[in-house]
């Protein structure tokens, strides 16, 4: 039988989809395409209302176009909003546990032809051990942690993913060794609250980074995202001495207004955030720092938004991912009454995206006429395209044989979003 997996949402979902794919192939199933498969798996996201709608749209499309297929819906939307699926005639519904047993669930359904719903209490599950022997991209993701206990007032994810649960560091090291042996040049550590790794097993994220540093053959190590409060002295020491940690970090700001940060239940103010960034840059002067910002949080007035702009311009991020506030039922923000209009949120999004592009170009221009090393991930029309360790997007003439081989380039000019190299 052929299968096809739709993946929505974050890097953790991407990793888990790869685990399901590998499990199915090992069990004799064949990876098909979107139009000719017998089994369709939708790995859902629920971070915003739009995410729910996107997930449901895919489920409805599969049921409409392939009514006789086995339809499996898994992930965050299933975990917290399975009621949205009750009238869609789905074959198998799983939450955020049991994905590594995907083959068993499908085999059971094939035997009984009866719908399966398996949604466990996510607050009372252990870390689900998953392991990849290979990854379908140049960069290999490794999931080291699940769950979050920050309970930001706007966020549903702690309810969808549960408490912090960490992977055994020995198993993390073994998985990375396997991926490196398969030829992966870059490892990306992923999790729901990645920097909180180890808090449940008397370990620490910095200790894990030191363990990975000792693995022979790792060329690059990237952290998918980390909170500013986790950049402690131990981490700074590791960053300072590391030969494999890249010069790029994604650190969510969410707002540059102290009043909004407090209402969001974030664990810092703008002064704390800025001081930590300054310390980070004292360790790595040319480090690229990207961020997330939510606009239109309830009660965010024009003055608070201007404060956010001011904070962004002072910090000088190299890229900003901008999100309009999306109300999620079951979160504390649901009870805040002063809602910013959709029109105003769109306006603020456009403003920040313009600032982001300007800051991105400012960062890119620092590297004109400088030599960089990049990892080609795509070959197209005679060009190889990939990222440097500090996340410059480089485009250079090359061949398909250059993929997944670290290359040196001199940046000649900027043709956004590319840095053109030779």
* pLDDT of the residue at 135: 83
Is residue 123 a contact partner of residue 9, using CB atoms and an 8 Å limit? no
Is residue 392 a contact partner of residue 401, using CB atoms and an 8 Å limit? no
* pLDDT of the residue at 2: 98
Joined together, the tokens standing for residue 42 give 């939708």
Give the dihedral sign, CA 176/391/255/157.
negative
pTM: 0.94
Rounded distance between C-alpha atoms, residue 421 and residue 170, angstroms:
40
Rounded distance between C-alpha atoms, residue 294 and residue 320, angstroms:
10
pLDDT beneath 50, residues of the chain: none
Joined together, the tokens standing for residue 32 give 């098909």
Q: How many helices (H) and strands (E) does the chain have?
A: 12, 19
DSSP, collapsed to helix, strand or coil, labels residue 408 as: strand
Dump strand ranges (E) for 357-400.
371-380, 383-388, 393-397
Residue with tokens 């399975």: 82
* pLDDT of the residue at 393: 97
């Amino acid at each position: 039988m052929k299968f096809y997996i739709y993946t929505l949402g974050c890097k953790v979902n991407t990793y888990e989809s790869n685990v399901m794919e590998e499990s199915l192939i090992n069990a004799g199933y064949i990876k098909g395409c979107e139009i000719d498969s017998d089994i369709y798996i939708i790995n859902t996201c629920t971070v915003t209302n739009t995410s729910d709608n996107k997930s449901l749209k895919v489920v409805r499309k599969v049921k409409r176009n392939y009514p006789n297929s086995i339809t499996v819906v898994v992930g965050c939307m299933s975990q917290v909003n399975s009621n949205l699926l009750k009238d869609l005639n789905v074959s198998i519904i799983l939450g955020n546990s049991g994905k590594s047993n995907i083959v068993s669930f499908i085999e059971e359904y094939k035997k009984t032809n009866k719908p399966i719903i398996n949604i466990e209490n996510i607050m009372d599950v252990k870390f689900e051990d998953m392991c990849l022997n290979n990854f379908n991209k140049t960069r290999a993701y490794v999931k080291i942690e699940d769950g979050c206990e920050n309970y930001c007032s706007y966020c549903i994810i702690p309810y969808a993913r549960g408490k912090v649960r960490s992977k055994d560091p020995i198993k993390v090291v073994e998985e990375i060794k396997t991926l490196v042996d398969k030829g992966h040049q870059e490892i990306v550590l992923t999790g729901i609250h990645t920097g909180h790794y180890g808090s449940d097993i008397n370990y620490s994220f910095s200790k894990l980074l030191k363990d990975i540093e000792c693995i022979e053959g790792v060329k690059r190590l990237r952290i998918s995202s980390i909170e500013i409060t986790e950049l402690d002295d131990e981490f700074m020491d590791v960053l300072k001495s590391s030969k494999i940690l890249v010069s790029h970090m994604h650190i969510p700001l969410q707002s540059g207004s102290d009043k909004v940060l407090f209402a969001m239940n974030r664990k810092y103010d703008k002064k704390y955030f800025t001081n930590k960034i300054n310390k980070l840059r004292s360790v790595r002067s040319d480090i690229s720092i990207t961020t997330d910002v939510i606009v239109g949080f309830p009660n965010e007035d024009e003055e608070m938004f201007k404060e956010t702009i001011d904070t962004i311009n002072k910090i000088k991020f190299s890229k900003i991912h901008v999100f309009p506030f999306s109300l999620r039922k079951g979160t504390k923000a649901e009870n805040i009454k002063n809602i910013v209009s959709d029109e105003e949120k769109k306006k603020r999004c456009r403003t920040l995206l313009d600032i982001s592009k300007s800051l991105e170009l400012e960062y890119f221009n620092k590297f004109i006429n400088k030599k960089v090393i990049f990892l080609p991930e795509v070959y197209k029309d005679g060009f190889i395209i990939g990222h440097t360790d500090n996340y410059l997007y480089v485009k250079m003439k090359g061949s398909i044989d250059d993929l997944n081989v670290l290359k040196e380039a001199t940046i000649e000019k900027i043709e956004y979003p590319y840095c053109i190299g030779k």
